[in-house]
Amino acid sequence: MPNWPLVVRRAEPTALHFATIIGLIDEAAAWLGTKGTDQWAHPWPNKAGRDGRVRLSLAEGKTWICWDRDTPAATLTVDLDDDPHWVSAHSRPSRPAIYIHRFVVGRGYGGMRLGGCLLSWAGRTGRLAHGAHSVRVSAWTTNRALHRYYERQGFEPRGYHADDGYPSGARYEKLTSVIPFTWPPLFSAPSRLVSATSRLAVAPSRPVSARSRLAES
């Protein structure tokens, strides 16, 4: 059983944390392969490109790991910079938003609603600390089960990326104003996504509620 509450910490640009994130991705890819989807069957566009994105997000202080003591339970990358795949006639980033990338919950923590709580933390923190109007995610285009998952979390579909060669082409968005504060805590987490003094400085933590946990797929 997990040792609740867990702890969310900013991942560091080290070989250990890089390997931790790749391990979670590889575990998820193996599981997805049993679910009738080609998501993450191969790194996109190749291993070097995937690994480069992971390393860059680590260096920029945008990646987080949720820890169960010494065990990585989940990871997500939260970006305050506009995602170029959202700039189109259909949906322009006219208001501040946060963008979620490489969102993975470890298989040992599946069905515990950890993923929904992490999405709520990212969105709520983005709004309170950084003025984000919404939280946006690009889902694997052909993974319909994943689309339904985000819809259960309260995300609205926002069409598809114009670049049909991009595999995560299904866009989903949720207003941060509809994410409530709840109690008791599921994990402790920083109250800022970007430190006021350094992108890699860890901000003070606050609890995030188990009641905000939403349905997992």
Domains and CATH numbers, the chain: 6-197 (3.40.630.30)
pLDDT higher than 50, residue 47: yes
Angle ∠(151,155,160) on CA atoms, nearest 5: 90
CB 24 within 8 A of CB 75: yes
- Could you tell me the CA-to-CA distances from 141 to 94, 109, 145 in Å, in that order? 24, 24, 11
Residues 6 or more apart from 44 whose CB is under 8 A from it? Answer: 50, 167
Residue 164, pLDDT score: 72
Kindly report the pTM of this predicted structure: 0.88
pLDDT for res 199: 41
Burial label for 180, CB within 10 Å (0-12, 13-18, 19+), is: exposed
Helices (H) and strands (E) in the chain, counts: 4, 9
CA-to-CA distance for 213 and 209, rounded, in angstroms?
Answer: 7
Render pLDDT for 87-128 as a digit per residue (tens, 0 to 9).
764 555 568 999 999 999 999 999 999 999 999 999 999 999
pLDDT for 198: 40
